[in-house]
Amino acid sequence: MTGPLGDASLPVLAAPVGRSAVEDTLPPGRTRRGTELAMLAFALVVTLVAYTAVGLAKDGQVPEGLLSYGAGLGGLFLVAHLVVRLLAPYADPLILPCVALLNGLGLVLITRLDNASDENRRLAGKALLRHDAPTQLVWTGLAVVLFCGALLVLRDHTRLSRYGYLSGALGVGALLLPLLPFVGRNINGARLWVRVGPVQVQPSEAAKVLLMIFFASYLVSKRDVLSLAARRVAGLDLPRARDLGPVLVAWGASLAVLVFQRDLGSSLLFFGLFIAMLYIATERVSWLVIGVGLFLGGSYVAYRAFGHVQARIDTWLHPFADPQGASFQLTQSLFGFGTGGLTGTGLGRGSPDKVGFAVKTDFIFTSVGEELGLVGVMAVLILFALIVERGMRASLGCRDGFGKLLAAGLSFALALQVFVIVGGVMGLIPLTGVTLPWLSYGGSSVVANWVLVALLMRISDAARRPAPAPVNPGLARAALAEAHTTVIRR
Amino acid sequence: MNRAVRRVAIACLLLFAALLVNANVRQTVLAQGYRDNPGNSRVLEQTYDRERGAIALDDGTTRTLIARSTERDGRFRYLRSYPSNDLYAHVSGFYSFIYGATGIEKAEDSILTGDDPSLFVKRFTDTLTGREPRGGDVVLTIDPAVQRAAYAGLRGLRGAAVALDPKTGAILAMVSAPSYDPNSLTSFDGTAIRAAYDGLTKDPANPLLNRAINQTYPPGSTFKVVTAAAALADGRTPESQVPSPTVLDLPQTSVGLKNFGGESCGGPTSSIAEALRISCNTAFAALGLQLGAQKLRDQAKAFGLDDDSLTVPLPVSASRFPDDPNPPQLAQSAIGQFDVRVTPLQMAMVAAGIANGGEVMSPYLVQEVQAPDLSRIDLAQPKALSRATTPRVADELTTMMQAVVDRGTGTSAQIPGVAVAGKTGTAQNAPGAAPHAWFIAFAPAKDPKIAVAVLVENGGKDGSDATGGRVAGPIAKAMMQAVLKR
């Protein structure tokens, strides 16, 4: 797991948690912020080239908004970079460029789908709809502001653990908000939305981050109880019945989300996330077994009890059974991926809009597959994988349990979310609607995921920051060997 | 915790690996199946991103494009346009994003898109050299001068005109009136296209209908040529006498069959030639009764009636001779009334068959198929469709039809210095409605270069006073002159 920046020959310093806490630390001054800036510039260039390609495909002209668009996006990237340089100088230099590229590409795809909507409505003789790309750019701006704000306010991520229960309460509250009368909105059969004035918000995105903070702080404080008190049955260390409480609560809550909000994707996400964090906190395989068992049981019950769950499964098994009806979107999505083939049709030259409803949100990856082909699909997936694995690396390098657990949880949440939606639109698993982080249209998603990245960057900064150098390393080591175990740095 | 974090990190990698493997399988192995799935309209739409071949006319000196693709900006790169507007509309058809294709655009679609197997090598080399693939061109047999003459003659009327080269079957003109502008259906402005299409389909004159090949009419007296052919083939001569009363008593009914305007045919009997010259109804009705339904139908079939599979390559509606007429119906059928129904193309084939010594050539519109670099891929090979009658009978019919134009009902088609053979028709179609005016002809009689059939619905501007000679004859004449002047 030694990365390009790791240096195992560094002196082994105080490492209260884990054996590899130090392998990723850097000597002072080697922050790699210059690398980050160069890669951000590269991400901006790729985005603008793609934006130009969309314009050329539309009317053969370089889009007139290219300069302002480039300046706006470039400005946002630059601000994010400067704030990181100032406030989290040791943070992983790879994460921000990957996020920036994905976000830029998302804006390009939304612009492209705006054009398709115009063309379709002109062909149908209907009034044109307001474009979504400018809105998404505004949301991206807000997201970057919150990203910077999070880094500014939160100078030490461990402080967050104090607000564990508050986060949990806020998270659950956010999750339940759409169920309230007056503010809750039922859109396309799922009650996931809250309307505040003119703005629609999907609070489950914010709930994701809030609940993870809660999970991390709760599990770190209870990890001893959860991992030590156990009975061994048939080779598995089973937890005590009363310790099962939190798991059952998480399971019940995600089922409740599924039932009342008809949001399969989010419930799957929350449940998977909690089990993974429980496993990381306790390192007990038994939790995984229990979690998977509960998941399978819950899935079976849901399959038998709910028509819409059943329909999803049937569509997944037989995507071409009802191409004009229930499986229309999945069929069209697969057609898109197939038509795109190896290299894609080129931006603006395919028909990803055929997927219809949710083409800019849940099905945005279909546009990648059709117009950028397998090459683009693999590139985007690798970008996500890079962010996830750099996040995991931050977790490994982090010196405190809370940060470790939070970083791993955030990274895993990202991986699972990408898996759920990309696997869904590509027919690998039954389709459940969640957004594809940074690519999908939607303010809540973009903001929540930029804040998620801010947390990852903060933890990564802490993980890679060189520990305060002892006055005399040799002396410190000798003293350390004889000293009692104490917390040196928190 | 690190051990668990590492394991979860590996689990994440496995999730991404599963996604990557799935993507690779779907976008390579399964991709072709998705592309070819009939529910996938993306591939069809991609044809709008490729330059479609042109539909062209070529009279040996100039090449006229009647349909071509012009590059534009936007989601679909090529716009189909028709430089001659409505002149060739029913030949070229239209190629519309919303309403599909008609005419040659539909019949020769695989050539025009470039998907035809005959263009495979070209396509392959294009792929290798990185050139953008383009469809092949289709060159038609239409002679612009004849087409224009027919179009001018039918302006403001409802009807159709067809001209054939009797020796080859090449279609020199195909006009249906009223026509429409295919450009109005091929833009990418959905509102405008829908409005235009709505207007065309709601128009009682039905401009989208190709009357030349897809509408059948009672042929009236032009059908007497077919009855005469059957009689001559049956052993009679042009001088054979047939009864020609002013009113022919029809068996099994109290109603008699009269001549046009109730006139007499100049005596109780008349020769077949004379009866044809003055278009005597009673004589030909009597002749039909003498011959019987079977011989009449056989002769009609020999000229191409009752053929359900004719394509030029536009599909042609079958012309019909009634199945099992009783004697009064047979008498009516012999003069092209009752349930005899023909397309204008069919009557042009009758004229052309006689002009070509009794052999009907298969009519065709496509002269040549060319690759995008104008190299020839396919050239039309004229072929016989059927032998309608013997050269001797054809000769006799020609002489008789010359008399029609020289000093009979068809004098309006006389061309100075050229022997023209023709036959008029004034067909009753609905009670109270003005008759359809017909004219079929070919010229020069001895070495025919063009055979035509002209139909004007309900007598055109002349209404119930119309006769085939007066209304349709001049149009036929102008069409023939367009070729003969050359």
- A381 → closest Cβ in B1, B19, B191: B19
Q: Among candidates A223, A312, A331, A222, which has minimal Cα distance to A262?
A: A312
User: How crowded is residue B211: how many other Cβ atoms within 10 Å of its Cβ?
Assistant: 27
Tell me the average pLDDT of chain B. 88
- B34 → closest Cβ in A59, A335, A395: A335
Q: What is the ipTM metric for this complex? A: 0.88
SS3 B240: coil
- CA dist B85 and A75 (Å) reads 53
Q: Looking at chain A from residue 207 to 266, which residues have their Cβ under 8 Å from any Cβ of chain B? A: none
Q: Among candidates A446, A428, A439, which has minimal Cα distance to A359?
A: A439
Three-state SS string over A376-417 comes to: HHHHHHHHHHHHHHHHHHHHHHCCCHHHHHHHHHHHHHHHHH
Chain B residues near residue A349 by CB distance under 8 angstroms:
49
- CA dist B377 and B379 (Å) reads 7
pLDDT at residue A22, rounded to an integer: 45
Cis peptide before A430 (omega within 30 of 0): no
List Cα–Cα distances, A410 to A157, A210, A403, in angstroms. 13, 11, 10
Q: Which of A17, A119, A223, A335 should be substituted to probe chain B, the one whose Cβ sees the most B Cβ atoms within 10 Å?
A: A335
- A96 and chain B in contact, CB less than 8 A: no
H/E element, B171: strand B171-177
Residue B282 is encoded by which pair of tokens? 């009673």
- CA dist B425 and B220 (Å) reads 5
| Tens-digit pLDDT profile for residues A234-291 | 666 666 767 767 666 766 776 676 667 777 788 788 888 888 988 998 888 888 888 8
Question: Where in B44-158 does DSSP place strands (E)?
Answer: 55-58, 63-71, 78-81, 95-96, 100-101, 137-140
On the CB side of B111, CA atoms within 13 Å amount to 22
The catalytic site residues of B sit at: 221
- The verdict on a CB contact (< 8 Å) between A60 and B73 is yes
Kindly tell me the burial class for residue A484, based on how many C-beta atoms sit within 10 Å of its own C-beta (0-12, 13-18, 19 or more): exposed
What is A146-159 written as a DSSP string?
A: HHHHHHHH-SSGGG
- CA dist A421 and A89 (Å) reads 33
SS3 B364: strand
| Tens-digit pLDDT profile for residues A337-347 | 998 889 888 89
Chain A residues near residue B43 by CB distance under 8 angstroms:
339
List Cα–Cα distances, A372 to A99, A117, B354, in angstroms. 19, 19, 63
- The verdict on a CB contact (< 8 Å) between B23 and A369 is yes
Residue A241 is encoded by which pair of tokens? 């019945």
Three-state SS string over B451-485 comes to: EEEEEEHHHHHHHHHCCHHHHCHHHHHHHHHHHHC
- CA dist B433 and B204 (Å) reads 16
- The verdict on a CB contact (< 8 Å) between B31 and A388 is no
- B70 and chain A in contact, CB less than 8 A: no
Say how many Å lie between the first and final Cα of chain A, rounded: 24
pLDDT at residue A388, rounded to an integer: 97
Q: Looking at chain B from residue 178 to 237, which residues have their Cβ under 8 Å from any Cβ of chain A? A: 188-191, 194
- What phi and psi, each to the nearest 5 degrees, are found at residue B156? 85, -5
- The verdict on a CB contact (< 8 Å) between B40 and A339 is yes
Residue A188 is encoded by which pair of tokens? 């396309």
pLDDT at residue A356, rounded to an integer: 82
- CA dist A24 and B184 (Å) reads 68
pLDDT at residue A266, rounded to an integer: 80
Stretches where chain A sits below pLDDT 70 are: 1-29, 182-183, 185-192, 196-198, 229-231, 233-239, 241, 244, 246-248, 250-251, 254-255, 257-259, 468-490
Q: Which pairing describes strands B55-58 and B137-140: parallel, antiparallel, or unpaired?
A: parallel
- A279 → closest Cβ in B4, B19, B190: B4
The pTM score is 0.66
The dihedral over CA atoms of A222, A224, A226, A232, expressed in degrees to the nearest 10, equals -170
Stretches where chain B sits below pLDDT 50 are: none
Chain B residues near residue A221 by CB distance under 8 angstroms:
none
Residue for token digits 């278009």? B279
pLDDT at residue B401, rounded to an integer: 94
- CA dist B321 and B343 (Å) reads 12
- B5 → closest Cβ in A280, A320, A341: A280
Residue type, A225: V
- The verdict on a CB contact (< 8 Å) between A412 and B8 is yes
Say how many Å lie between the first and final Cα of chain B, rounded: 98
Q: Among candidates B373, B318, B366, B308, which has minimal Cα distance to B109?
A: B366
Q: Among candidates A400, A413, A401, A423, which has minimal Cα distance to A448?
A: A413
- The verdict on a CB contact (< 8 Å) between B75 and A279 is no
Chain A residues near residue B8 by CB distance under 8 angstroms:
276, 279-280, 392, 408, 412
Chain B residues near residue A356 by CB distance under 8 angstroms:
none
For B255, residues 6+ apart whose C-beta sits below 8 A from its C-beta are B328
